[in-house]
Amino acid sequence: MSGAVAPGDEAGLIAAVAEAFGSGTPLEVVGNGGKRGLLRPVQAARTLSTGRMSGISFYSPQELVLSARAGTPLSTIAATIAERGQQITSEPPDFSGLLGGEAPQTLGGVVGANLSGPRRVAWGATRDHVLGIRAVNGRGELLRSGGRVLKNVTGLDLCKLLTGSHGTLAVMSEITIKVLPAPERRGTLVLAALDPKAGVAALAAALGSPYAVSGAAYLPEQKSAYLRIEEFAGSVQYRCEKLARQFANTEILDTAASLALWRGIRDAAMLPRAEALWRVSVAPSAGPSILRAVASSGVSGYLDWGGGLVTCAGPATKNAHQAICDAARSTGGVWWLLRAPAPFRAAVDVLPPEAPALAAIRARVQHAFDPRGIFNPLKLRAA
Amino acid sequence: MIAQPEPKQGVLARRDAIVAGLRELVPGSGVIAEPLLLKPYETDGLAAYRQVPLAVVLPETTEQVAAVLALLHREGARVVPRGAGTSLSGGALPMVDAVVVGMMRMNRILEINYADRCARVQPGVTNIGITQAVADAGFFYAPDPSSQLACMIGGNVGMNSGGAHCLRYGVTANNLLGVKLVTIEGEVIELGGEHLDAAGYDWLGLITGSEGQLGIVTEVTVRILRGPEGARAMLAAFRANEVAGQCVDAIIGSGIIPVALEFMDRPAIHACEAFAHAGYPLDAEAMLIIEVEGSIAEQDFLLDRIKEICARFDPISLKVSRSAEESAAIWKGRKGAFGAVGRISPDYLCMDGTIPTSRLPEVLRRIGQMSDACGLQVANIFHAGDGNLHPLIMFDANDASSFARAEKFGADILRLCVEVGGCLTGEHGVGVEKRELMPAQFTATELEQQRRVKSAFDPDWLLNPNKVFPLSPPVAARPLAA
């Protein structure tokens, strides 16, 4: 077999993995390959792509359920469900502008990386909306977990385990997700002239209000906090006005301006061009302290998820990286090195280290799925 | 009686030594070994199955749990974790050679953090206890299983419990931020924390709903949410199950996500009305309770829209509540459903499959046929928004044939749920009740993969080995992960 395999269907995927299992050939597992730059670089003899396994196989709008093959472009799914007034709940970011790559990101890629956007703060992550997965383990065996119903506690939840596993446990062939109605209207309340601490306090007050805020971000450059309401038209107006009364220096953005603003926040479009990019997940109130702690290392960023998601950019240096790791650890949070030159990603930890007891379990779980270690070797950790 | 794994004779023989070892670790009244005092631990919410355990231990700290598990691991003794014992699937059913580790003494709320909208609690805090602790500030903990007055958050994590408001707020897994987990070796592992996304594998998601197969949770951090300005319910009654089902589709299809959307069939309506006198229409074949949230004006807007949709389906009656009191009256019958069925039947089994909502009419028709064929009555309650179906099968436990027929009827219903594209359990868990049905949903390969994951955490299969997985093949023949 050549250096790249792209099966057209699940049977082909099973055959390709079974062959690699038999020969012990490491595989770089990708969709369209747009997330190659995330986490550690993979060195593998062969690339296995699910990019040709594309298409929506099931969609029941009144049940809020959609199934698609792993290689289906997310944009195709978004466009299809938009025709029925629905949207992808977790608002996954599109980092192609940051990571490069022309081909559209796939459903498998987004689920494999468990990427979620601003709506995460109110409606949960991508992992919260994965209902079912069909995948092939490292033995070349087909596994199904979950299904096509919204509530399911039958057996161990392998959907959650595979979501966010970056193709290191199994290769997904088909994914079923829960979708939700798109709002009739979107509105954004801008709170100006706030420093990060005051900004996050405002976000906390709004998220602690009864108005179901569906986006809560702070941009240091603008010294502004942003609150999004997505509801029926009357509710957007009512809730924005109610919230506005709690704060000074407010302005309300309409649906069009809201869409553009939150797309930028989702995709980290406002970050300066820099070699390295990190995401830090912390208790929301700790967000400002992360920004402060890394500033002296030339790292700047912004806050989403009420302050709990810090996306930041800076030089790909050990000094900057260590500043991020230390700041996250000191607040009990976690971090990911999203992007950096490959040699740098190979040289440093791209995720926080694990406690020894958990590391031992993780190694056994990996072995339980992929006994010969053929899937995306060392993608997450150096050993 | 339900089959149990072959008891370990060596453990039975060392009972006194194991109990003495436990007493050293958990002093005072925290170790129970007297037959009479063990009796209350022989069963749970699925009272048809009983087994007195070897001993019960009631630790008060994470360190004690760790020491207890390390001891039991050294002894090769099996472990059954237990919260309030409200499981409807036999999730806390002991084995004769197992030590029950009861978490009810770890019942403190450790920290409430409004700025970060989370609460850190011990596993023995009741579900309602979390909401009560934050209610004065206008907050609540969202998952609300019917047993919420008694059931404990540790058990909710073990079973990934749901409730009536999952369509809007999700189940336990969607509202959990972190846990402290003690492994069978007695290692303490922290998973998650006060942040939303975890780095690396989603251990929290795997642990949630793992039914005590992977470890014992000794601390839980949950999200707390600010409650809405208000909520109000309406009731809509229809001439046929099909029509009510179409109405549910039309509501969801219109872009409205009600916070609750409950369906009751004719037997359920009659049982609940006789019990609660809630004013339910007795001439209806099917009834929906629909709840929305927001300000009064927002509630009016949503309820008007839903009313318009319901009106298209020729309803027998539509009743929109005008106050919190009227909403409570509409909910009163539904919330008392289990008691209501208990009043008209000496015993009942509460099943818990999930089906695609579009298949509801067909599933109810076939359940009706099964009911006629086996001569047992059934009332159906359905979380229509999320497809979770609760048939209540009425039987008489004093009549062995009646119980056997009820068990078979229940199993047939769950197979039907899988056949139409659903699953064996939506929120109660597999437990002992449904473990032998697992091959109806999973292939041998898929079950083997799940067993391998269990083995990665618990290589000797000491944690709750009588639950979730079919007893065959026996533990000795099961694969190690590594």
User: Do B218 and B244 share a domain, yes or no?
Assistant: no
Query: For residues B79 and B477, what is the distance between their CA atoms, to the nearest angstrom?
Result: 20
Residues making up chain A, counted from first to last: 383
Q: By the CB < 8 Å criterion, does B344 face chain A?
A: no
Q: Last residue of a domain, which of B292, B319, B337?
A: B337
- Whether the per-residue pLDDT at A255 is higher than 90: the answer is no
Chain A residues close to B222, C-beta within 8 Å: none
Q: What is the pLDDT of residue A2?
A: 61
Chain A residues close to B189, C-beta within 8 Å: 355, 357-358, 361
CA nearest A64: which of A143, A179, A150?
A: A179
∠ CA A307-A312-A316, nearest 5°, is 155
- Among A63, A157, A210, beta carbon nearest to B357: A63
Q: What is the pLDDT of residue A178?
A: 97
Q: What is the pLDDT of residue B479?
A: 64
Tell if the CB–CB gap between A150 and B166 is shorter than 8 Å.
Answer: yes
Average pLDDT, chain B: 95
Residue range B269-283: mean pLDDT, rounded: 93
Chain B residues close to A308, C-beta within 8 Å: 116, 195-196
pLDDT band at residue B481 using 50, 70 and 90 as cut-offs: low
Q: Last residue of a domain, which of B69, B102, B135?
A: B102
User: Do B316 and B401 share a domain, yes or no?
Assistant: no
Q: Domain residues for B352?
A: 345-435
- Whether the per-residue pLDDT at B165 is higher than 90: the answer is no
For residue B477, is it within any domain?
Answer: no
Tell if the CB–CB gap between A357 and B354 is shorter than 8 Å.
Answer: no
- Among A120, A153, A363, beta carbon nearest to B482: A363
User: Do B315 and B362 share a domain, yes or no?
Assistant: no
Q: Last residue of a domain, which of B298, B315, B337?
A: B337
User: Do B164 and B81 share a domain, yes or no?
Assistant: no
Q: What is the pLDDT of residue B444?
A: 96
User: CB B133: neighbour CB atoms within 10 A?
Assistant: 17
pTM of the full predicted structure?
A: 0.97
Q: By the CB < 8 Å criterion, does B198 face chain A?
A: yes
Q: What is the pLDDT of residue B167?
A: 86
Query: For residues A124 and A318, what is the distance between their CA atoms, to the nearest angstrom?
Result: 33
pLDDT band at residue B5 using 50, 70 and 90 as cut-offs: very high
- Among A143, A182, A358, beta carbon nearest to B445: A143
Q: How many domains does chain B have?
A: 4
Instruction: Name all domains of chain A by residue range, CATH numbers in brackets.
Output: 49-181 (3.30.465.10), 185-267 (3.30.70.2190), 276-347 (3.30.70)
Q: By the CB < 8 Å criterion, does B227 face chain A?
A: yes
User: Do B265 and B307 share a domain, yes or no?
Assistant: yes
CATH label of the domain that carries residue B259: 3.30.70.2190
Q: Residue A306: how many CA atoms within 13 Å on its side-chain side?
A: 26
- Whether the per-residue pLDDT at A1 is higher than 60: the answer is no
For residue B464, is it within any domain?
Answer: no
Contact A274, A254 (CB under 8 A): no
Q: By the CB < 8 Å criterion, does B385 face chain A?
A: yes
Residue A370 phi, psi dihedral angles, 5° rounding: -135, 75
Query: For residues B311 and B52, what is the distance between their CA atoms, to the nearest angstrom?
Result: 55
Residue range B16-40: mean pLDDT, rounded: 97
User: Do B221 and B119 share a domain, yes or no?
Assistant: yes
User: Do B259 and B212 share a domain, yes or no?
Assistant: no
Question: What residues contact residue B313 under an 8 Å CB cut-off, 6+ apart?
Answer: B238, B243, B244, B246, B247, B250
Nearest-Cα distance to chain A for B196, in Å, is: 7
pLDDT band at residue A247 using 50, 70 and 90 as cut-offs: very high
Query: For residues A99 and A338, what is the distance between their CA atoms, to the nearest angstrom?
Result: 9
Rounded to the nearest 5 percent, the helix, strand and coil shares of chain B are 40, 20, 40
Chain A residues close to B176, C-beta within 8 Å: none
Residue range A285-295: mean pLDDT, rounded: 97
Q: Please tell me what DSSP assigns to residue A232.
A: -
Comparing alpha-carbon positions, the chain B residue that sits nearest to A158 is B206
Nearest-Cα distance to chain B for A160, in Å, is: 5
For residue B164, is it within any domain?
Answer: yes
Q: What is the pLDDT of residue B473?
A: 82
Chosen for mutation from B172, B196, B224, B248 (greatest number of chain A CBs closer than 10 Å) is B196
User: Do B31 and B73 share a domain, yes or no?
Assistant: yes
Chosen for mutation from A148, A150, A378 (greatest number of chain B CBs closer than 10 Å) is A150
CATH label of the domain that carries residue B423: 3.30.70.2740
For residue B239, is it within any domain?
Answer: yes
What ipTM was estimated for this complex?
0.97
For residue B194, is it within any domain?
Answer: yes
For residue B452, is it within any domain?
Answer: no
Chosen for mutation from A57, A81, A152 (greatest number of chain B CBs closer than 10 Å) is A152
Q: What is the pLDDT of residue B183?
A: 98
Enter the tokens of residue A101.
């790559």
Query: For residues B127 and B117, what is the distance between their CA atoms, to the nearest angstrom?
Result: 17
Comparing alpha-carbon positions, the chain A residue that sits nearest to B353 is A152
For residue B366, is it within any domain?
Answer: yes
Tell if the CB–CB gap between B197 and A238 is shorter than 8 Å.
Answer: no
How many residue pairs bridge chain A and chain B with CB atoms within 8 Å of each other? 261
Q: By the CB < 8 Å criterion, does B241 face chain A?
A: no
- Whether the per-residue pLDDT at B476 is higher than 70: the answer is no
For residue B453, is it within any domain?
Answer: no
pLDDT digits (tens, 9 = 90+) for B41-95: 999 999 889 999 999 999 999 999 999 999 999 999 999 999 999 999 999 999 9
CA nearest B154: which of B249, B62, B84?
A: B84
- Whether the per-residue pLDDT at A323 is higher than 90: the answer is yes
CA nearest B439: which of B467, B477, B469?
A: B469
User: Do B215 and B127 share a domain, yes or no?
Assistant: yes
Chain A residues close to B443, C-beta within 8 Å: 142, 144
Q: What is the pLDDT of residue A214?
A: 97
User: Do B32 and B55 share a domain, yes or no?
Assistant: yes
Tell if the CB–CB gap between A151 and B427 is shorter than 8 Å.
Answer: yes
CATH label of the domain that carries residue B91: 3.30.43.10
CATH label of the domain that carries residue B132: 3.30.465.10
User: Do B13 and B90 share a domain, yes or no?
Assistant: yes
Chain B residues close to A143, C-beta within 8 Å: 445-446, 449
Question: What residues contact residue A112 under an 8 Å CB cut-off, 6+ apart?
Answer: A31, A35, A162, A163, A164, A165, A166, A167, A172
Q: What is the pLDDT of residue A102?
A: 80
User: Do B81 and B143 share a domain, yes or no?
Assistant: no
Q: What is the pLDDT of residue B163?
A: 87
Chain B residues close to A354, C-beta within 8 Å: 200
